[in-house]
Amino acid sequence: MAATPMDQPALIVFDLDFTLWDAGGVWCDCLTPPFRQQEGRVEDREGRHVRLYDDVPRILDECEASPAALALASRTGEPDWARRLAELLGIRARFAHQEIYPSSKVRHFAALREATGCDYDQMLFFDDEERNVHEVGRLGVTCVLVEQGMTHAVFQDGLERFAVVGRRTGRLLGEGAVQSGRT
C-alpha cells in the first residue's frame, strides 16, 4: 500500500446497503435471487431494482486516483448475494479488501487491520447504521453516518473530518464518529 499524508486515509471503507446502493428500499438479504442485468439495470427475481447511488461511480473514481486502498465491510446475512450484486453493478473488483459476512463491524475492521497493516486511525468508514458508526468509531476509525445514500458531499465531509481529526489530535481513540448530511 502506498504511503499517504497524515491528513489522508490509507484505507477507505464502505458499507453496501443504503450506503453504496439502494436495493429497492430493503437490505440485499431481503431480495430474491437469482440476480440479473436487465436492460442496463440489476434486478432480482421479483423485478426489484438494485442501483448504485448516483454519486458512487465518481466517488470510487476519486478513491482509486488517491493513494488510499478501498474496502467493503458489510454484515449482510447473505454474503454471496452481496458479492454477486457488487459484481453485477461493476464495483466488486474496485475493492482490494472485502469483509462481507454476518458479524459485528468490529470484527470486520479487525480483519481489515490484519490484512492491510493499517492502524484504525488511518481508516475512514462510511455506513448508514448509527450502531456501526459508534462501534467502529470507538476503535479510532473516523466514521461518517450516511443518512440517505452516499453522495459526493458526504464523501467530502468524511475526507475533511479525517484531516481535521488528524491535525487536531493525532487520532485519539474513540474519536471521529460524525453524522453527515444534517445541517
| Residue 169 maps to a domain | yes
Q: What is the CATH number of the domain that holds 149?
A: 3.40.50.1000
Q: Is the pLDDT of residue 38 over 80?
A: no
Catalytic site includes residue 55: no
At residue 178 the predicted structure's pLDDT band, cuts being 50, 70 and 90, is: very low
By residue range, what is the domain housing residue 122? 11-23+52-179
Between the alpha carbon of residue 86 and those of residues 39, 82, 146, 165, the distances in Å are: 17, 6, 19, 31
| Residue 45 maps to a domain | no
- Among the listed residues 15, 44, 121, 157, the single catalytic one is 15
**pLDDT, mean of residues 40-66:** 93
What cell was used for 62?
Answer: 476519486
What cell was used for 63?
Answer: 478513491
Closest C-alpha among 40, 32, 97, 37 to residue 63? 97
Split into its structural domains, the chain has a count of 1
- Among the listed residues 17, 44, 127, 157, the single catalytic one is 17
> Hey, which residues does 97 pair with through a beta bridge?
71
Between CA 128 and CA 144 the distance in angstroms is: 8
| Residue-level pLDDT at 6 | 65
| Residue 81 maps to a domain | yes
| Residue 37 maps to a domain | no
% of the chain exceeding 90 in pLDDT: 70
Catalytic site includes residue 157: no
Between CA 1 and CA 97 the distance in angstroms is: 12
pLDDT digits (tens, 9 = 90+) for 147-162: 999 999 999 999 999 9
Q: Is the pLDDT of residue 52 over 70?
A: yes
pLDDT digits (tens, 9 = 90+) for 62-72: 999 999 999 99
Strands 41-43 and 49-52: antiparallel
What cell was used for 135?
Answer: 462501534
| Residue 36 maps to a domain | no
pTM: 0.87
Q: Is the pLDDT of residue 33 over 80?
A: yes
Judge contact between 152 and 170, C-beta under 8 A: no
